């Protein structure tokens, strides 16, 4: 198959073979990203021993950084390296970051006294922060490139196949996210270590690191099959320069003696192409509409922080399986995989049949409302938890009272997680004495075990050791989080999937990437808002913070619906064609030299008439 640029690519069932490598790459990369992110907040809390607020703040700073770097990636790819090389180089940076995270979580490295806790926490903090910075640079940098690189592989005659590719691409994102969010919490819950056994964060970060290496290798293997478009020049730079010129030119002509122009961007006409100005106007119109959007992400991204911390205070016993708090996040991709097809093939057509015009902006407004509703549900669940007063911690606190007159060494290994309850086995070691006993725990419970003075060589520890329950297990079930996950995911489908499509359809042909970067920027700002609101509000009760966020989004939702009401949908292709036709008509009549001459004369005439006009105004005044 020969694509639009004359590139001859191999095809399978009408699809370029190269996209197979891109789709697999995306699956592995998203596995790596979401797998690492799923356990991140618990790593901060239980490994680095940060409090909930610091853990939440650093988590959101990291997510914000991941969505700020796409601008950097887009600039590097468009103006310098091209998409292929940008993906390769930034994927290497990304993989190094993931490896740094895995190494930072090996407690044995600084556990000099071998008591199970790191002795030099600064080393672990610094290494993990460097790792997170590299990951943010890598994942954000490649984000606007991979999907666009996939789109580039199709010819103009393959519109249908390209659309299918983007759907499969989105499903791969959520497939990767779903699998990793199930697997990494399981790995994290294992015990591992050289000198002492601790929760295995190093493995939970190590597997995503390995998957990132796989993603890179798969992408490189496909190298010979890709169509690699040359960098088209820095469109983002051109846009900024043109806007800058319009502003400075407007400022230079700020005096009332100069006639105003229809749009402030028209002040760029003195130097820039009319088509470019028209395209920038379209982009600015959409960017203006983006202003309230970060608030949606402020709520949406808290499922990885506040909601995961909330789940640690709940009972994850689902009968046949025990769900880890960080595994609750899988509800989101599961619902995405089911809701997207249902919405597309049932709900939206049904609404259309009822004669309602459910425009993209209306869908996004409803999506915001649903996210606010999700936080109302989270607040109700939080009140339940607070009332139950059994929310100390998800981890079982265990202490031993030693009745013997010699020291006893106790170690433990837990059997996780596909059991109805958590069963912990303890190993006791004191001189010649060595025995083991097992106990079942409920989530959040705390026990004290008594080692009797009579314990000796050959004793049956299972029977001899008695225990007392200090804190009863968490009683509020994790299933209560399902409604809040349902509303936030339904909101995501209506808001995010529609928003992406809206941004694409309203963007001029050469600025689709600019608007994608703008869209991703709203996610970054949303995550910064979490930090600001949480810091400024400093509410004593978690449920009041949820209500505050729900109220803020509701207000923003009302503002957005008003803005949306005044928005008029455009067809960028038609507008661009109109401008090109005007230039084309000129081309038919004039040769290059003549046109240049005419332009010069026109400009001189304009300058003269402007001068006269201004002079005239001055005399009138």
Instruction: Tell me how far, at minimum, the Cβ of 252 lies from ligand LWJGWPZZ, in Å.
Output: 43
In the complex, minimum distance from the CB of residue 500 to ligand LWJGWPZZ, in angstroms, rounded to a whole number: 9
Residue written as token pair 């983002």 = 236
Under the binding rule (CB under 6 A), the answer on residue 34 touching ligand LWJGWPZZ is yes
Closer to ligand LWJGWPZZ by Cβ: residue 280 or 493: 493
Beta-bridge partners for 239: none
Residues 440 and 421 sit within 8 Å (Cβ to Cβ): yes
Give me the numbers of helices (H) and strands (E) for the chain, helices first please. 20, 10
> Using the rule CB under 6 A, is 332 a contact of ligand LWJGWPZZ?
yes
Tell me whether residue 174 or residue 430 sits nearer to ligand LWJGWPZZ (CB atom): 174
Contacts of 212 (CB under 8 A, 6+ apart): 28, 29, 32, 91, 94, 95, 98
- Residue 173 binds ligand LWJGWPZZ (CB under 6 A): yes
Which of 83/107 has CB closer to ligand LWJGWPZZ?
83
> What tokens does 487 get?
């509303």
The SS3 assignment for 459 reads coil
What is the nearest approach in angstroms of ligand LWJGWPZZ to the Cβ of residue 26?
Answer: 9
Q: What are phi and psi of 429, to 5 degrees?
A: -140, 120
Instruction: Please identify, among the stretches 170-178, 258-266, 522-530, 603-611, the one whose residues bind ligand LWJGWPZZ according to the rule CB under 6 A.
Output: 170-178
* Residues binding ligand LWJGWPZZ: number (CB under 6 A): 9
The residues, ordered by sequence, that sit 6+ positions from 77 with a Cβ below 8 Å of its Cβ are 83, 86, 144, 145, 231
C-alpha of 180 from chain center:
14
* Interface of this chain with ligand LWJGWPZZ, residues 530 to 589, rule: CB under 6 A: none
Q: Are 331 and 482 in contact (CB under 8 A)?
A: yes
Query: Rule CB under 6 A: is residue 136 a binding residue for ligand LWJGWPZZ?
Result: no
Exactly one of 101, 276, 311, 336 binds ligand LWJGWPZZ (CB under 6 A); which one? 336
Return the number of the residue (71 or 265) whose C-beta is nearest ligand LWJGWPZZ.
Answer: 71
Q: How far is CA 136 from CA 33, 64, 132, 228, 430, in A?
A: 10, 9, 6, 25, 48
User: By C-beta, is 212 or 476 nearer to ligand LWJGWPZZ?
Assistant: 212
Query: Would you say the C-alpha torsion 559, 561, 565, 571 has a positive or negative sign?
Result: positive
Question: Between 190 and 332, whose beta carbon lies closer to ligand LWJGWPZZ?
Answer: 332
Q: Name residues contacting ligand LWJGWPZZ, limited to 11-30 (CB under 6 A).
A: 30
378 binds ligand LWJGWPZZ (CB under 6 A): no
Contacts of ligand LWJGWPZZ in 456-495 (CB under 6 A): 492
Residue closest to ligand LWJGWPZZ when measured from CB atoms: 177
Helix (H) or strand (E) holding 287: helix 274-290
Diameter of the chain measured on Cα atoms: 113
Task: Using the rule CB under 6 A, give the single segment among 173-181, 440-448, 476-484, 556-564 that binds ligand LWJGWPZZ.
Answer: 173-181
CB of 177 to ligand LWJGWPZZ, least distance (A): 3
Secondary structure percentages of the chain, helix, strand, coil, to 5: 70, 10, 20
DSSP-derived pairing of the beta strands 397-402 and 409-415: unpaired
E strand or H helix at 152, and its extent? helix 121-152
Region 174-203 residues binding ligand LWJGWPZZ, contact defined as CB under 6 A: 174, 177
Q: Does 95 bind ligand LWJGWPZZ (CB under 6 A)?
A: no
Instruction: Decide whether 30 or 107 has the Cβ nearer to ligand LWJGWPZZ.
Output: 30
Closest to ligand LWJGWPZZ by CB, 99 vs 336, is 336
Side-chain half-sphere CA neighbours of 564 within 13 A: 21
Q: Write out the residues near ligand LWJGWPZZ by the rule CB under 6 A.
A: 30, 34, 173-174, 177, 332-333, 336, 492
């Amino acid at each position: 198959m020969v694509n639009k640029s004359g590139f001859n690519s191999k095809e399978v069932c009408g699809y370029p073979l190269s996209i197979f490598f891109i789709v697999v790459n995306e699956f592995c990369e998203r596995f790596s990203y979401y797998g690492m992110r799923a356990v991140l907040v618990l790593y901060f809390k239980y490994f680095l021993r940060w409090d909930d607020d610091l853990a939440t703040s650093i988590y959101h700073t990291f997510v914000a950084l991941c969505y700020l770097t796409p601008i950097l990636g887009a600039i590097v790819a468009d103006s310098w390296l091209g998409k292929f090389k940008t993906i390769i180089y930034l994927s290497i940076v990304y993989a190094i970051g993931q490896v740094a995270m895995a190494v930072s979580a090996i407690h044995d490295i600084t556990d000099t006294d071998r008591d199970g806790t790191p002795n030099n926490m600064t080393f672990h903090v610094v290494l993990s922060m460097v790792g997170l910075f590299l990951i943010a640079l890598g994942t954000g940098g490649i984000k606007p490139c991979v999907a666009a690189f996939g789109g580039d592989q199709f010819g103009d005659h393959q519109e249908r196949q390209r659309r299918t590719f983007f759907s499969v691409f989105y499903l791969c994102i959520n497939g990767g996210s779903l699998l990793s969010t199930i697997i990494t919490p399981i790995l994290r819950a294992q015990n591992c270590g050289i000198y002492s056994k601790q929760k295995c964060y190093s493995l939970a970060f190590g597997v995503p690191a390995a998957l990132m290496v796989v993603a890179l290798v798969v992408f490189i293997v496909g190298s010979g099959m890709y169509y690699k478009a040359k960098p088209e020049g820095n469109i983002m730079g051109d846009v900024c320069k043109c806007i800058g010129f319009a502003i400075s030119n407007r400022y230079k002509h700020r005096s009332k003696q100069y006639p105003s122009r229809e749009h402030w961007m028209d002040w760029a006409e003195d130097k820039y192409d009319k088509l470019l100005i028209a395209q920038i106007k379209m982009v600015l119109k959409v960017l203006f509409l983006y202003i309230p959007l970060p608030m949606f992400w402020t709520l949406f991204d808290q499922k990885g922080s506040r909601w995961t911390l909330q789940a640690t205070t709940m009972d994850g016993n689902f009968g046949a399986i025990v769900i880890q708090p960080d595994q609750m996040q899988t509800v989101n991709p599961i619902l995405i995989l089911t809701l997207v097809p249902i919405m597309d093939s049932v709900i939206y057509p049904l609404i259309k049949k009822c004669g309602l015009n459910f425009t993209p902006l209306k869908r996004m407004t409803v999506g915001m409302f649903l996210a606010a509703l999700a936080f109302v549900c989270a607040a109700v669940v939080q009140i339940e938890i607070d009332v139950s007063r059994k929310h100390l911690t998800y981890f079982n606190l265990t202490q031993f009272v030693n009745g013997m007159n010699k020291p006893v060494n106790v170690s433990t290994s837990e059997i996780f997680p596909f059991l109805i309850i958590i069963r912990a086995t303890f190993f006791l070691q004191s001189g010649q004495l060595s025995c083991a006993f097992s106990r079942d725990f409920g989530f959040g419970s705390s026990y004290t075990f008594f080692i009797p003075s009579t314990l000796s060589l050959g004793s049956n520890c299972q029977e001899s050791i008695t225990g007392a329950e200090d804190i009863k297990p968490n009683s509020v079930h994790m299933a209560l989080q399902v409604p809040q996950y349902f509303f936030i995911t339904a909101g995501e489908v209506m808001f995010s999937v529609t928003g992406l499509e809206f941004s694409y359809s309203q963007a001029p042909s050469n600025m689709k990437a600019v608007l994608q970067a703008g869209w991703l920027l709203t996610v970054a700002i949303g995550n910064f808002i979490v930090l600001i609101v949480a810091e400024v509000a400093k509410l004593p009760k978690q449920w009041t913070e949820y209500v505050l966020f729900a109220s803020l989004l509701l207000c923003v939702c009302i503002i957005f619906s008003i803005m949306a009401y005044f928005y008029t949908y455009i067809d960028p292709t038609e507008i661009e064609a109109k401008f090109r036709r005007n230039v084309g008509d000129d081309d038919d009549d004039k040769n290059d030299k003549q046109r240049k001459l005419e332009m010069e004369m026109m400009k001189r005439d304009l300058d003269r008439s402007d001068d006269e006009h201004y002079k005239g105004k001055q005399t009138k005044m």
